[in-house]
Structure 1
Amino acid sequence: MLIAALALLGSAFTTARAVTVYGQIPLAQTIGANPSAGSAVPPTKTLAAYDKTVLNPPALPSPPPAAAYTLSLQKDAGAVNGLSIPHVGGSFWGFSVEMSVISQVLGKNSSLIQVPFLNLMANLQERAGSVVIRLGGNTQEFAAMVPSLPNGHTFAKADSGSTQTTKTPAVLYTVDMFYMAANISSMVNVGWFFGIPFNDSTNWRLTIAEQAQAIVGGHLLGLQAGNEPDFYQQFGRRVTYSPQMYTDEVQSLINTMNQNPLILNKNMLIGPSVATSGTWTPEQVWDTGFIDRFKDNLYALSVEHYPNNNCAAQFNTGQPIEVPQDVFPSYLTHTAAVNLVQPYIHSTDLAQAAGKPFIMFETNTASCGGFPGISDTYGAALWAIDYGFQMAYANFTHGLLHIGGQNVYYNPFTSPPTNQSSYNEWTAGAIYYSTIVVAEALGKTNTSRIIDLWGNAGSVYTPSYAIYENNVLSKVALFNFMDDKSGASNSQVTITVPAGAPSTVKVKYLSADTVSTKENIMWAGQTLGNQYTVDGRFRGSLNVTTINCDTTANTCVVPVNAPGFALVFFDTNAEPLSIGQATETFATTARTKFHNTVTFDPAALSTSNGHSGMSKDGFGSTSVGSISKATRRMTVSGVGVMLGSAILGGVWIVRGLLR
Structure 2
Amino acid sequence: MFSSTFLWFSASLVAAQYSVYQPKDQVIFGGTALTLTAATSTAAPSNFTGAAAYDHTVLNPPAVPSPAIPTHVPIQLPSSGGLPNLSYPVNGAFMGFSIEMSVAPQILGKNSTRLLPPFLNLMANIVERAGWVQVRVGGNSQEMAYMVSSLPNATMLAKDNVTFGVTNTPSLLYTPDLLYTMSNISRLTNTHWHLGFPFAVSGNVSLAIVENGQSILGDYLLGIQAGNEPDLYSTHGLRPSNYSQYDYFGEIGALVQQIANDSAVPNKNNILVVPSVQVLWSPESVWNTGLVSSYSSSIYALAVERYPNDNCAAKNPAAGQVVNPQDVFIDYLQHNISTNLVASYLNSTAFAHQNGKPLMMFETNSASCSGFPGISNSFGAALWGLDWALTMAYNGFTSALFHVGGQNSYYNPFTPPPTNQTKFGIEWTVGPIYYSALVMAEVMGPHNQSQISDITSDISTPMYAIFENGAPTKLALFNFVTDPTGASTYTAVISIGGGSTNQSNATPSQVQVKYLLAPSVSSKGNFTWAGQTLGDALKSDGRLNGTLNVTTIQCDQTANTCSVPVPAPAFALVFLTSDSFNAVSPTSTVTFPTSVQTRSHFYIDPNMLATSYGHTGMQKVRGATSSGHLVSGASSLHPSLSCALAILTVTLAAIGVAQRW
Fold in common (TM above 0.5): yes
Residue 508 (str. 1) matches residue 507 (str. 2): no
Task: State the match for 1:37 in structure 2.
Answer: none
Q: What displacement does 1:296 show?
A: 1.2
Runs of 4+ in 1 over 6 A off after TM superposition: 41-44
Separation of aligned partners in 1, 2:286 and 2:564: 46
Residue 69 (str. 1) matches residue 73 (str. 2): yes
Task: Indicate how the Cα distance of structure 1 residues 214 and 109 shifts in structure 2: closer, same or farther if over 3 A, else same.
Answer: same
Task: State the match for 2:536 in structure 1.
Answer: 530
Task: State the match for 1:199 in structure 2.
Answer: 200
Query: Tell me, what secondary structure is at the counterpart of 2:420?
Result: helix
Query: Tell me, what secondary structure is at the counterpart of 1:574?
Result: helix
Q: What displacement does 1:147 show?
A: 1.6
Task: Indicate how the Cα distance of structure 1 residues 349 and 653 shifts in structure 2: closer, same or farther if over 3 A, else same.
Answer: farther
Query: Tell me, what secondary structure is at the counterpart of 2:62?
Result: coil
Task: State the match for 1:411 in structure 2.
Answer: 412
8 Å CA contact 2:597–2:648 kept in 1: the answer is: no
Q: 1:82 aligns with which of 69, 81, 85?
A: 85
- Write the letter of the residue equivalent to 2:482: D
Separation of aligned partners in 2, 1:185 and 1:231: 33
Separation of aligned partners in 2, 1:42 and 1:70: 53
Query: Tell me, what secondary structure is at the counterpart of 1:301?
Result: strand
Task: State the match for 2:178 in structure 1.
Answer: 177
Residue 99 (str. 1) matches residue 105 (str. 2): no
State, as a whole percentage, how many aligned pairs show the same letter: 49
| 1:146-191: CA deviation from partner (whole Å, max 9, x where unpaired) | 1211111101001443232x32111110010111111111101011
Separation of aligned partners in 2, 1:403 and 1:259: 35
Q: What displacement does 1:203 show?
A: 2.7
Task: Indicate how the Cα distance of structure 1 residues 471 and 580 shifts in structure 2: closer, same or farther if over 3 A, else same.
Answer: same
8 Å CA contact 2:575–2:581 kept in 1: the answer is: no
Q: What displacement does 1:550 show?
A: 1.1
Task: Indicate how the Cα distance of structure 1 residues 589 and 417 shifts in structure 2: closer, same or farther if over 3 A, else same.
Answer: closer
Separation of aligned partners in 1, 2:48 and 2:133: 36
Residue 284 (str. 1) matches residue 276 (str. 2): no
Query: Tell me, what secondary structure is at the counterpart of 2:344?
Result: helix
Q: What displacement does 1:79 show?
A: 4.2
Separation of aligned partners in 1, 2:253 and 2:373: 42
Separation of aligned partners in 1, 2:488 and 2:432: 23
- Write the letter of the residue equivalent to 2:649: G
- Write the letter of the residue equivalent to 2:338: A
Task: Indicate how the Cα distance of structure 1 residues 473 and 152 shifts in structure 2: closer, same or farther if over 3 A, else same.
Answer: same
Q: What displacement does 1:65 show?
A: 2.1
- Write the letter of the residue equivalent to 1:550: D
Q: 1:445 aligns with which of 444, 447, 470?
A: 447
Q: How many residue pairs are counted as aligned between the two chains?
A: 562
- Write the letter of the residue equivalent to 2:237: G
Separation of aligned partners in 2, 1:420 and 1:271: 38
8 Å CA contact 1:123–1:582 kept in 2: the answer is: no
Map 1:585-604 onto structure 2 (within 5 A). 585-588=591-594, 590-591=596-597
Task: State the match for 1:266 in structure 2.
Answer: 268
Residue 656 (str. 1) matches residue 633 (str. 2): no
Task: State the match for 1:476 in structure 2.
Answer: 475
Task: State the match for 1:467 in structure 2.
Answer: 466
TM-score, normalized by length of structure 2?
A: 0.82
Separation of aligned partners in 2, 1:580 and 1:512: 23
Separation of aligned partners in 2, 1:474 and 1:538: 25
8 Å CA contact 1:537–1:581 kept in 2: the answer is: no
Task: State the match for 1:256 in structure 2.
Answer: 258
| 1:376-412: CA deviation from partner (whole Å, max 9, x where unpaired) | 1110000011001111101111100000111100000
Task: Indicate how the Cα distance of structure 1 residues 582 and 397 shifts in structure 2: closer, same or farther if over 3 A, else same.
Answer: farther
8 Å CA contact 1:113–1:654 kept in 2: the answer is: no
Q: What displacement does 1:656 show?
A: 3.4
Map 1:19-30 onto structure 2 (within 5 A). none
Task: State the match for 2:344 in structure 1.
Answer: 343
Task: State the match for 2:380 in structure 1.
Answer: 379
Separation of aligned partners in 2, 1:513 and 1:256: 55
8 Å CA contact 1:311–1:368 kept in 2: the answer is: yes
| 1:204-251: CA deviation from partner (whole Å, max 9, x where unpaired) | 200001000010111001111110000001111011310011011000
Q: What displacement does 1:577 show?
A: 7.2
Structure 1: tracts of 5 or more residues without a match = 8-40, 593-651
8 Å CA contact 2:46–2:418 kept in 1: the answer is: no
8 Å CA contact 1:369–1:404 kept in 2: the answer is: yes
Map 1:626-641 onto structure 2 (within 5 A). none
Task: State the match for 1:153 in structure 2.
Answer: 155
Query: Tell me, what secondary structure is at the counterpart of 1:283?
Result: helix
Task: State the match for 2:637 in structure 1.
Answer: none
8 Å CA contact 1:492–1:557 kept in 2: the answer is: yes
Q: What displacement does 1:264 show?
A: 1.1
State which drifts further: 573-582 or 319-328. 573-582
Separation of aligned partners in 1, 2:583 and 2:86: 24
- Write the letter of the residue equivalent to 1:658: T
Task: State the match for 1:15 in structure 2.
Answer: none
Q: What displacement does 1:496 show?
A: 1.3
Task: State the match for 1:427 in structure 2.
Answer: 429
Residue 398 (str. 1) matches residue 399 (str. 2): yes
Separation of aligned partners in 1, 2:120 and 2:48: 30
- Write the letter of the residue equivalent to 2:488: S
Query: Tell me, what secondary structure is at the counterpart of 2:304?
Result: strand
Separation of aligned partners in 2, 1:183 and 1:148: 19
8 Å CA contact 1:97–1:403 kept in 2: the answer is: yes
Q: 2:59 aligns with which of 51, 55, 62?
A: 55
Task: Indicate how the Cα distance of structure 1 residues 52 and 178 shifts in structure 2: closer, same or farther if over 3 A, else same.
Answer: same
Query: Tell me, what secondary structure is at the counterpart of 2:491?
Result: strand
| 1:271-311: CA deviation from partner (whole Å, max 9, x where unpaired) | 4344432x210000011011211111111110000111111
Separation of aligned partners in 2, 1:146 and 1:234: 29
Separation of aligned partners in 1, 2:527 and 2:141: 32
Structure 2: tracts of 5 or more residues without a match = 1-6, 14-44, 499-503, 599-644, 653-661
TM-score, normalized by length of structure 1?
A: 0.82
Query: Tell me, what secondary structure is at the counterpart of 1:296?
Result: helix
| 1:17-64: CA deviation from partner (whole Å, max 9, x where unpaired) | xxxxxxxxxxxxxxxxxxxxxxxx997751000111100001122112
Task: Indicate how the Cα distance of structure 1 residues 393 and 403 shifts in structure 2: closer, same or farther if over 3 A, else same.
Answer: same
Residue 305 (str. 1) matches residue 292 (str. 2): no
Task: State the match for 1:236 in structure 2.
Answer: 237
8 Å CA contact 1:107–1:114 kept in 2: the answer is: yes
Q: CA RMSD in A?
A: 2.2
Task: Indicate how the Cα distance of structure 1 residues 520 and 580 shifts in structure 2: closer, same or farther if over 3 A, else same.
Answer: farther
Task: Indicate how the Cα distance of structure 1 residues 484 and 273 shifts in structure 2: closer, same or farther if over 3 A, else same.
Answer: farther
Task: Indicate how the Cα distance of structure 1 residues 173 and 541 shifts in structure 2: closer, same or farther if over 3 A, else same.
Answer: same
